[in-house]
Amino acid sequence: MARSSGILTRIKSVYFLESVAGGLVQPYYSFLSVINGVTGPLLGVVSSASVVITDVVPYALRNLKSLYPSIGFIVAGIAWLGIALVSVNGISLNLYLASLAGLGMASYAIQVLLEPLSRGRRGDVLGGVTQYSRLGSLTATLVTGFIVGSDYDLNRIFATLTGLLYLASGVQTLNIKISEAVTRTERVDFRLVLANSVFFYVWSLAWPLFPLLEVYKFHMNETNLAIISTIGGLSGIVGQRWANKLINTRPVLALFLGRSALAIYPLAYALSTNVYEVYLAYLAMALTSTTQPALLAVVYNRSQDVKRSLAQVYFWQGIASLLGSVTSSTAVWALTKGLDAQAMVSYVDVAMIVIATLRFVSSTLYVLLIKEARSGPSLSP
């Protein structure tokens, strides 16, 4: 148990370091793309890239005998150092995608390792790791958002710091190796994949529309986004304790509650008349903080081969995310081409209300299609 505890402590520190690195720049990438004139299908790709790439990469790695998170962190670090040298254009986008591929490798390896470490206490372990990740993101967002404001050239400095921090994460995990899973089956719970993929398609419909409203309706800058992230981060920290308890006993219910609460955000963006009302909506992060640890707990509890099951679930949610994001960005671009900003905002507001409704409806698939399952036994001392 002492050895497991030591490994878990290292994972928490890596999650914090990685989240500081990502929080310095990634929360603003779609927003900066709109500032720089990216629209249409490309905006959909940019908005969903952080999910799509990190989710698809594990599928290519699922049959490897060993996984090394350090390799992924080093790839991401080098890519972000390259981004620091260029502006937000095609070259930068390619480097951004390369960094996400690296992060997908690293995250997948660590999540496979977390399965045996969390047996019998899914919520406590997975929620605890999430807390470290949230604290790292919050720390970085506070620094970046309030310093940058509207001076976007300063992002080069933070891109450099991000690259260095990812490289440091790579060094931190150099001697961590995740061996092959016990079984070799390709079995995966079809109902889980279906429910999760449908929800991710619906969830991602709003992703490219958020930055459009942030720029053209609320006229936000990075300080506004930092305030949103701060409110959401603090709310998530406050709500994580009850979330951990629920994930320990009812992970499917926790997953449903977290996913259904995600309907609040597009609804808030559509109905709010000023940025302060948007701020209030992010108090709901106390509810939505259950989503990722709850999904991991459900996959762990229902899998004979965690490595391959995670890869399957992530692959299909990644494909669904790309399709959803590109669908909405292309539709809005086609319908509003030639219209002024005010008319475009009206279209997007209506779309957000529809998406909010669909988010809630699709979240019910988790409880309709998936039954609760017990987690594995606790690790022996």
Amino acid at 232: G
Cβ partners under 8 Å of residue 175, min gap 6: none
Cα 14 from Cα 169, distance rounded (Å): 6
Cα 210 from Cα 215, distance rounded (Å): 9
Amino acid at 360: F
Question: What's the pLDDT band for 320 if we cut at 50, 70, 90?
Answer: very high
CB 231 within 8 A of CB 285: yes
Name the token pair of 299. Answer: 């996959």
Q: Which CATH class is domain 2-369?
A: mainly alpha
Q: What number of residues does the chain have?
A: 381
- The domains of the chain are located at 2-369
Q: What mean pLDDT do residues 71-97 have?
A: 83
Count of other CB atoms within 10 angstroms of residue 155: 22
pLDDT at residue 1 above 60? no
Q: What mean pLDDT do residues 60-87 have?
A: 89
Backbone angles phi, psi at 254, to 5 degrees: -60, -40
For 136-152, the pLDDT digits (tens) are 988 887 776 666 555 55
Q: How confident is the prediction for the chain on average, in pLDDT?
A: 85
Which neighbouring-strand residues pair with 67?
178
Single pTM value for the model: 0.87
Cβ partners under 8 Å of residue 304, min gap 6: 183, 185, 187
Q: What mean pLDDT do residues 257-281 have?
A: 96
Residue 154: what pLDDT? Answer: 66
| Burial class, 100, CB count within 10 angstroms (exposed 0-12 / middle 13-18 / buried 19+) | buried
CB 189 within 8 A of CB 25: no
Q: What mean pLDDT do residues 81-86 have?
A: 87
